[in-house]
Structure 1
Amino acid sequence: MTSHPSGPVAEAFEAQRDRLRAVAYRVLGSHADAEDVVQEAWMRLVRQDAATIGNLAGWLTTVVGRISLDLLRSRRAHPETAYGPECADLVVVPADDPAPDEQVALADSVGLALLLVLDTLTPNERLAFVLHDMFAVPFHDIGQILGKSTDAAKMIASRARRKVRATDRPAGPGTEHREVVEAFRAAALGGDFEALLRVLDPRVRLTVDTADGVVVTLGATKVAAGACTFSGKVAHHRPVLVNGVPGHMSWHADGTPLSVVAFTVTAGRISGIHIVVDPAKLASLRLAGPGAATG
Structure 2
Amino acid sequence: MSDPIAEVFEAQRDRLRAVAYRMLGSHADAEDVVQEAWLRLTRQDTDTIHNLAGWLTTVVGRISLDVLRSRQTHPQVSYDELVVTVDDGPVPEETAALADSVGLALLVVLESLGPSERLAFVLHDLFAVPFDEIGQILGKSTGATKMLASRARRKVQAPGQPTTAGPQQREVVRAFLAAARDGDFESLLQILHPDVKLTIDTPGGEVILLGATKVAPNVRLSSGGVMGVREVLVNGLPGIVAWRPDGTPLSVLAFTVVDNRIVRMLAVANPATLAKLDLPEPV
Task: State TM-score, norm by structure 2.
Answer: 0.89
Does the 8 Å CA contact 1:38/1:64 hold for their aligned counterparts? yes
Partner Cα distance (2:223, 2:48) in 1? 60
Percent identity over the alignment? 62
Residue pairs, 1:138-157, within 5 angstroms: 138-157=130-149
Partner Cα distance (2:107, 2:208) in 1? 17
**Counterpart for residue 42 of structure 1:** 38
Does the 8 Å CA contact 1:84/1:274 hold for their aligned counterparts? no
Partner Cα distance (2:108, 2:130) in 1? 25
How big is each residue's C-alpha offset from its partner over 1:147-177, in whole Å with a ceiling of 9 and x where there is no partner?
1111111111111122222252224432211
1:188 aligns with 2:180: yes
Partner Cα distance (2:48, 2:88) in 1? 57
Instruction: Pick the aligned partner of 1:110 from 96, 100, 103.
Output: 100
Instruction: Pick the aligned partner of 1:60 from 56, 59, 80.
Output: 56
CA RMSD across the alignment: 2.4
**Counterpart for residue 247 of structure 1:** 239
- Which 5+ residue runs of structure 2 have no aligned equivalent? none
1:176 aligns with 2:172: no
Residue aligned with 2:219, SS: helix
Q: 1:144 to 1:171 in 2, by over 3 A?
A: closer
Does the 8 Å CA contact 2:194/2:212 hold for their aligned counterparts? yes
Q: Which amino acid aligns with 1:52?
A: T
Q: Tell me how far 1:60 sits from its aligned partner.
A: 0.7
Partner Cα distance (2:199, 2:261) in 1? 17
Q: 1:223 to 1:124 in 2, by over 3 A?
A: same
Partner Cα distance (2:165, 2:96) in 1? 9
Does the 8 Å CA contact 2:84/2:278 hold for their aligned counterparts? no
Q: Tell me how far 1:225 sits from its aligned partner.
A: 2.6
Residue aligned with 1:216, SS: strand
Partner Cα distance (1:97, 1:287) in 2? 17
- Which 5+ residue runs of structure 1 have no aligned equivalent? 1-5
Partner Cα distance (2:160, 2:69) in 1? 25
Partner Cα distance (1:87, 1:205) in 2? 20
Does the 8 Å CA contact 2:196/2:210 hold for their aligned counterparts? yes
Does the 8 Å CA contact 1:87/1:276 hold for their aligned counterparts? no
Residue pairs, 1:159-238, within 5 angstroms: 159-228=151-220, 233-238=225-230
Instruction: Pick the aligned partner of 1:91 from 84, 92, 102.
Output: 84
Does the 8 Å CA contact 2:229/2:243 hold for their aligned counterparts? yes
**Counterpart for residue 128 of structure 1:** 120
**Counterpart for residue 75 of structure 1:** 71
Q: Which amino acid aligns with 2:123?
A: L
Instruction: Pick the aligned partner of 2:25 from 20, 26, 29.
Output: 29
Does the 8 Å CA contact 1:240/1:247 hold for their aligned counterparts? yes
Residue aligned with 1:238, SS: strand
Q: Tell me how far 1:213 sits from its aligned partner.
A: 4.2
Q: 1:214 to 1:48 in 2, by over 3 A?
A: farther
Does the 8 Å CA contact 1:106/1:243 hold for their aligned counterparts? no
How big is each residue's C-alpha offset from its partner over 1:107-138, in whole Å with a ceiling of 9 and x where there is no partner?
33323222111111111111111111111111
Q: 1:215 to 1:33 in 2, by over 3 A?
A: farther
Partner Cα distance (1:123, 1:232) in 2? 45
Q: Which amino acid aligns with 2:66?
A: D
**Counterpart for residue 266 of structure 1:** 258
Q: Which amino acid aligns with 1:191?
A: G
Most deviating of 229-238 and 108-117: 229-238
Residue aligned with 1:228, SS: coil
Does the 8 Å CA contact 2:242/2:252 hold for their aligned counterparts? yes
